[in-house]
Chains A and B, each alone.
Chain A
Amino acid sequence: MTKKIKFSRILIHLFLISYAITCLFPLLWMISTSLKSTSEVYTNKSLIPQSLNFENYIKAWTEGNFSIYFTNSVIYTISIVLGIVVVSTLAAYAFARLNFPFKNIIYYAFLMMMLIPIPGAFVPLYVLLVKLGIQNTRIGYILPMINSGLSVSIFILKEFFEQIPKELEESAVIDGCGKFQVYYRIMFPLALPAISTIVIFNALSAWNEYILAAVNFTDPNKMPVQQGLFIFQGQYFTRYELLMAATTITTLPIIMIYLSMQKYIVRSLTGAIKG
């Protein structure tokens, strides 16, 4: 009996490990290719490069303009996440605790936007950006991106605010705190666990976004990394060692953030299904 259990455990691990390799292999292959020289890419099929060759990275970073794309993406990601945190905490606090006209209708409108997909929203957004005269500007990208993260963030934060005991606010009000002070002195710091979830997820999606960037930017000096990859591939066509160096540059920050924050990420994802 115990032998049988032991045997099935080994089988389970074998299966899970082989799937883990399936997950990792394309990424390892990407890194391996990025470290090979041009001629080696076509001859050496081994996962381990003959020597570590960082020339592709230098070329992608300088000639391929990834120094610019990367900086842009950092700027966009930080601005978008900051915008989402400020706007969504304010709104979520109000939805959870304060009373105002049409509160429920407005909240359900936000919720509907989260649950109902609007395909092709990039078409009217493009028209709007042109109309507002902010197409091909940084702000024209940041503003709609802030909006796209709002509804889910408000939803998560509202649930969190509702679980905070009311006594804390009440005593603050007695001490003479106004609503806004209650929000940023008490509620905001208490909500930090939920806020960190929002920061991580919105940072990931801002960094990974492509379509809205493609619709908005025509000036290469303002493009984020994902759009940069597309441009870069157009320039170097089948030079896969260069392209893989560029995709590695684009992906590494994401993987690092994920591995350092994975505790938070998996926990909040497993919470999502109950929502």
Chain B
Amino acid sequence: MRKFIDKIENFIFVIPALAFFITFSIYPLFKTLQMSFYQWDGITKNMIFVGFKNYIDAFKDPVWLKSIKNGFILSFLALIFMNSIAFLLAILVNSGIKGAKFYRVIFYIPPILSGIVVGYIWKWIYDPNFGILNGLLDILNLSHFKRAWLSDVNTALISVSIASMWQGVGGSFILFLAGLQSIPEDLFEASRVDGATFWQQFFYITIPLMSRTLMIVSILTILGAMQLLTIVIPLTNGGPGFETEVPALRIYKEAFSSYKFGYATALSVLLGIMLFIISLVQIKLRKVD
């Protein structure tokens, strides 16, 4: 009996967290699943059960498919360019140079800014008439490259990607740096004694020992790029046309602009399943520890 009371007492400590969790995580999760089988405007009591119609519609919705494609393009660009820059910066900062701390502090400034702020700053940089980017091209005598970066169909998505990568490099950089710092210094010293060159060390020590970090950062990059939302709203809000539509923005607009709550939640479930599969790899990797 004493033990039983003890356990109940202990349980009290987790009750507040559990209450939050059930109300604001578990309930919305099940609500999403439920709503995805209905046609509902989010306001009236008029909910119509439609079975899998929302899901079937999603696969035939060119705008949704376009947004998924854009998500993959943004992921791909971030994996290649953002993470290469981040990895290079991490290696250089970790190479024993002076001022490493200074660089580390500066490189992590963009990630602490809000998506809305970064979006507006870059919108101003890209401004077709008075933006600094076109201004710079004028100064460099490259006026023929000038364009309306965010409203030109050829450059809109790339421009959004660059703004979001500018913000994201610091995050990958810090994780790479942490990975590099956990490699024992003796390994490099021993190989140096054996006459290994910088590149040999890089390919035979750094890369193999960093493989787990590289995987985790890649997955986090994909998860981030597939869920990009806040930064896109001030930059283009998905335009011109649907050129820069991203999955999360579709969900937002289907619910709060088109009042199709059932359809929006079906899209959430589909995207959620995709992301879940990607995160499984991450969970597995973290368990290896």
List residues of chain A with CB under 8 Å of any chain B CB: 9, 12-13, 15-16, 19-20, 22-24, 26-27, 29-30, 33, 41-42, 45, 86-88, 90-91, 93-95, 98-101, 106, 109-110, 113, 115-128, 143-144, 146-148, 150-151, 154, 179, 183, 204, 207-211, 215, 226, 229-230, 233, 238, 240, 243-244, 247, 250-251, 254-255, 258-259, 262, 265-266, 269-275
Q: Tell me whether A120 and B31 are in contact (CB under 8 A).
A: no
Instruction: Note all chain A residues with C-beta closer than 8 A to B204.
Output: none
B:233-279 near A, CB below 8 Å: 233-234, 247-248, 251-252, 255-256, 261, 264-265, 267-268, 271-272, 275-276, 279
Bound form: Cα–Cα A13–B248 in Å: 39
B110:A23 contact, CB within 8 angstroms: yes
What separation, in Å, do the CA atoms of A154 and B130 have in the docked complex?
Answer: 48
On whether the beta carbons of B93 and A87 are closer than 8 Å, the reply is no
Which applies to chain A's interface (DSSP): helix, strand, loop or mixed?
Answer: helix
Say yes or no: A87-B16 contact (C-beta < 8 A), given A42-B130, A251-B113.
yes
In the bound complex, how far is the Cα of B11 from the Cα of A29, in angstroms?
Answer: 53
Alpha-carbon distance between A95 and B17 when the two chains are bound, in angstroms = 11
Residues of B in contact, count (CB < 8 Å): 93
Bound complex: CA A86 to CA B32 (Å) = 29
B283 and A115 contact, CB distance less than 8 A: yes
Q: Given the known inter-chain contacts A120-B271, A179-B9, A266-B104, please indicate yes or no for A250 contacting B130, CB distance below 8 A.
A: no
A sample of 13 cross-chain residue pairs with beta-carbon separation below 8 angstroms, ordered by A number, consists of: A27-B109, A33-B124, A117-B227, A118-B25, A119-B227, A123-B255, A124-B31, A124-B265, A143-B20, A210-B116, A226-B117, A266-B108, A270-B177
The residue of chain B having its C-beta at the shortest distance from the C-beta of A271 within the complex is B178
Question: B121 contacts which chain A residues (CB < 8 A)?
Answer: 26-27, 29-30, 244, 247
A-contact bits for B16-43, CB 8 A (1 contact / 0 none): 1110110111011101100100000010
Neighbouring A residues of B7 by C-beta, 8 Å = 99-101
CB-based contact A90/B16 at 8 Å: yes
Instruction: Provide the bound-state CA to CA distance between A125 and B24, in Å.
Output: 7
Contact indicator B252/A120 (Cβ below 8 Å): yes
- Residues 91-122 of chain B, each 1 if its beta carbon lies under 8 Å from chain A, else 0: 01101010100011111111011111110111
Question: In this assembly, does B76 line the interface, its C-beta being within 8 Å of a C-beta of chain A?
Answer: no
Give Cα A266 to B24, complex, Å: 30
3 closest residue pairs by CB, A with B: A120-B268, A94-B13, A208-B114
Partner of A255, one of B8, B109, B276: B109
What residues of chain A lie closer than 8 Å to B6, measured between beta carbons?
99
- The residues of B that contact A255 with a CB separation of less than 8 Å are 109, 112
**In contact, B28 and A240 (Cβ under 8 angstroms):** no
- For residue B136, give the distance in angstroms from its CB to the closest CB of chain A: 8
| Contact call A251/B29, Cβ cutoff below 8 A | no
Shortest distance from the beta carbon of B168 to any chain A beta carbon, whole Å: 12
Which residues from chain A contact B46 at a C-beta distance below 8 Å?
Answer: none
B178 touches A117 (CB 8 A): no
Q: Which residues of B contact A204 (CB under 8 A)?
A: 112
Q: Is the CB of A147 within 8 A of B21?
A: yes
B14 touches A91 (CB 8 A): yes
Partner of A12, one of B97, B106, B226: B97
Alpha-carbon gap, A86 to B20, bound state (A): 12
A210 near B230: Cβ-Cβ < 8 Å: yes
B216: CB under 8 A from chain A? Answer: yes
- Please measure, in the bound complex, the distance between the C-alpha atom of A125 and the C-alpha atom of B20, giving whole angstroms: 12
Q: For residue A132, which residue of chain B has the nearest CB?
A: B23
| Other contacts beyond A23-B109, A179-B13, A211-B229: 13, CB < 8 A | A100-B14, A118-B272, A123-B268, A124-B27, A124-B32, A126-B255, A126-B256, A204-B112, A244-B121, A247-B117, A250-B116, A262-B105, A273-B182
Q: How far is the CA of A107 from the CA of B271 in the complex (A)?
A: 25
A12 near B95 with CB under 8 A, answer yes
Determine the chain B residues whose CB is within 8 A of the CB of A211 once the complex forms: 229-230, 252
Asked whether, in the complex, the Cβ of A230 is within 8 Å of the Cβ of B24, the reply is: no
Smallest CB gap from B104: residue in A: A266
* B268 pairs with A118, CB closer than 8 A: yes
Q: CB-nearest residue of chain A relative to B136?
A: A45
In the complex with contacts A115-B282, A147-B21, A94-B264 CB distance below 8 A: no
Cβ-defined contact, A120 with B27, below 8 A: no
Judge whether B209 is part of the interface by a CB distance below 8 angstroms: no
Say how far A18's CB is from chain B's closest CB, in angstroms.
11
Interchain CB contact under 8 A, B174 and A270 = yes
A87 and B20: CB pair below 8 A? Answer: yes
Alpha-carbon distance A204/B29, docked complex (angstroms): 26
